[in-house]
Structure 1
């Protein structure tokens, strides 16, 4: 059998691409090295009765257009919005965050009356940047060096968007894309804890510190999602993040798509400059008219394609693509809910993100450890207890805690991680939580610790980079992943890339997968009306 499309990797972007191609009538197969689907968006039971969101842990960026197109709610997907959040301070105080605007304003005013007034101005300005960027998420970036009609048309569209901005707004936009989040927040706020809370989205999954130029854009990237139409809102996928990919898999199979698990790719086959299929590690050979890789560009091109099948300058550019991992993850089964004395019992702040880093300076010191080749001695943790909202993930009365951690380098002092390093990293994170929730460690039933080593070996994320490549300005738009090949194509005919190392980047967004499908169907001249132009936003 020869497939019309063979997708490598059953992560969310690979499944999104597969769904769109299957809906266009193509014979589609997805191959996945693990015995389960999901990639980084996966739910697994590693201790009896407890479902973990093993890697990605919250939903916001996933495009609502894709949810509608692929009918994901019909296949069980439900997003539950946060109800709060909090920063625990070293002096015993807290900064609470709430869904209610007036409650937030009062809490900000408690720390700084000036900052309470400034927050609405800040939110307005960031939303303006979001509104400029969001339409680009489902558009293929132009290649400014080729001067093809479609590229010129897209550059004209970009110019039209800019023409609607004032000179001052354009200057502010350029500054925002290139400056540090620390400098940006200093323009609005004075309270260290408020600035620390707002800086969080600028460092998540990023090999930058809050004082690094370019970190402000990373915040914008995280703000471009929405839950129930609320831009910038975040929520939990009911049943864990694997519910997203489970719904995608069901949508694919409902249209006749095929998924093969425990099917690791060995080599992408190339004949006369064109892909013809793949060989699997078990020796099987699968033939296909086109191959679409959901792996990052480095893993795809440097591991699974013979170097002789690629131009030397392309290989050199791929090698330089930055994939420095910076994150780790703890998944914790708890016998009962932890108690944080700084928060009143039943506070809605517990039903969202909890942080223990109360100043940008502490964040930067944590980043200093990463630069020195060590995990942070005083890490930043983004802690969630999804079971405060979604009780389906654990037995009654029990809880699941997710801890996303910055910073953890790809290597420790230049060498590979060891099990002892992993355990020390996990203990550092648990000790930090214990300081703010005494007795917490006595409630722990089981802990899964994931460093960049595990993220690479188990999920296939090169160097443990959760975005399949850093979201710095030099690696965005027509530069992502490689200039001249930023439109989901590669130098090999009918070999495509649909993962997060392509535009518009990482997070559980689905946009790279959707855009790649649009380009493939356009190339085949089989795109449905609403996808016939790769630049049309659904």
Structure 2
């Protein structure tokens, strides 16, 4: 699997002719931010340094399974071992907190619980209501490639290359993978109350004493596990999780690159503005807030927030010469509309054209460059991919849905009330994102419970 580094990481064009490029290059960041505020350009390195401290603090939490209370510790030895492991975890966390120091720890808590606008206002003089200063300041520092912070990458061949690399590694280790085989139901032994395998949609049974589900918590427990098996209290908690989503994905085939008004150029060749994530409609926090409020009222945003990426700029394997693949990640689109339905072609087409027209304001002629497009609204994401509510993270990433509360209180350690069934997807700690942490952590728990495994699915 080949990673293609994106630098700069983000680009925000403005209608007033200015623009903002951000990435791992400190000098570039300084000169770009100085176009809006020289004082902010000086403050930004310190802001970024603090974020990096916080990222390092979070790393150990992301890469470890949670210190959940063990439910099957019956012997005195098991109970002592469990208490020792929990004490070691919290002791290590406390040591890290002490390393941060009281001021940084308070700032970290403030970052977690405060609105982004408040955090940004504490650091920068340019109001978050002025062009280019709002949405992207928190964006690029979270990326990491080969251990380097602030580096985002495309995967050559598209994101399917990640799945292919994982499957190749699994097969080399002796795994047998069945594809194009949808699971209809989890099999449960009536005598032992344990999972014994799955039934596929075609009726075939696949037997195993250990199951790991990468589906959402709702789909796993409410749809795949037979009724009457799981405790009602647990099911109620799963049902009450926040699966709401307001994102739509549009994949575009285009016959040329978008050229932005704020980047005067006499060539059609790719520039730094095409490499990273391009933010459209994010010139101010006020603009973002208005788009969000539309969705709260059951309306697709009148001026949606659009994240555009053009992976074909770096990855020549995914499009013919001179053509490009353009991906739009769009907010905000409610799952249910107050008027009409996403199933109505005219409503879908109207919203797509609204997005294209907004991009035209920054890049005239963009709409006319579109050869074809594919649109996935929240209901499409649920129907096609199985994402409950269309939520790409398998559930809310709010503070009340993270760590010991993910997916629900008391069941954060990948184990479930059904013996032999584990949760290994984004609905488990630490949540969504292309990082593999939930699966890796879940595998560690399975190995802890069962030792060396010969048969799993």
* TM-score under structure 2 length normalisation: 0.90
User: Given the alignment of the two structures, is residue 291 of structure 1 paired with residue 291 of structure 2, yes or no?
Assistant: no
Q: Which secondary structure state, in structure 1, belongs to the residue aligned with residue 49 of structure 2?
A: helix
User: Given the alignment of the two structures, is residue 230 of structure 1 paired with residue 148 of structure 2, yes or no?
Assistant: yes
2:403 to 477, 480, 492: 477
2:131 to 182, 193, 196: 193
Contact 2:423 2:442 in 1 (8 A): yes
2:92 to 157, 163, 178: 157
1:307 to 216, 227, 230: 227
Correspondences of 1:325-404 after superposition (within 5 Å): 325-345=245-265, 346-356=270-280, 357-404=282-329
Corresponding residue pairs, total: 432
Residues 111-147 of structure 1 show CA distances to partners (whole Å, capped at 9, x for unaligned) of 1101101101110111111111011111011126978
The alpha-carbon deviation at position 266 of structure 1 amounts to: 1.0
* Alpha-carbon distance change, 503 to 259 in structure 1, aligned in 2, over 3 angstroms: same
* Alpha-carbon distance change, 257 to 441 in structure 1, aligned in 2, over 3 angstroms: same
1:123 to 10, 32, 48: 48
Contact 1:142 1:152 in 2 (8 A): no
In 1, the alpha carbon distance for the partners of 2:22 and 2:88 equals 43
Match of 1:248 in 2: 166
* Alpha-carbon distance change, 395 to 482 in structure 1, aligned in 2, over 3 angstroms: same
User: Given the alignment of the two structures, is residue 521 of structure 1 paired with residue 447 of structure 2, yes or no?
Assistant: yes
Contact 1:434 1:441 in 2 (8 A): yes
Structure with max Cα Rg: 2
In 2, the alpha carbon distance for the partners of 1:458 and 1:407 equals 20
Contact 1:477 1:486 in 2 (8 A): yes
Match of 2:74 in 1: none
In 2, the alpha carbon distance for the partners of 1:98 and 1:480 equals 32
Residues 177-208 of structure 1 show CA distances to partners (whole Å, capped at 9, x for unaligned) of 1111111111111333343243564xxxxxxx
In 2, the alpha carbon distance for the partners of 1:395 and 1:234 equals 24
Match of 1:91 in 2: 16
The alpha-carbon deviation at position 435 of structure 1 amounts to: 1.4
Q: Which runs of 5+ in 1 are unaligned?
A: 1-75, 202-221, 528-538
The alpha-carbon deviation at position 241 of structure 1 amounts to: 1.2
In 1, the alpha carbon distance for the partners of 2:15 and 2:258 equals 18
Contact 1:82 1:236 in 2 (8 A): no
* TM-score under structure 1 length normalisation: 0.77
In 1, the alpha carbon distance for the partners of 2:212 and 2:24 equals 40
The Cα RMSD (Å) is 1.9
1:184 to 119, 130, 135: 119
User: Given the alignment of the two structures, is residue 268 of structure 1 paired with residue 186 of structure 2, yes or no?
Assistant: yes
Between 155-164 and 284-293, report the one with greater CA deviation: 155-164
Contact 2:8 2:272 in 1 (8 A): yes
Match of 2:415 in 1: 489
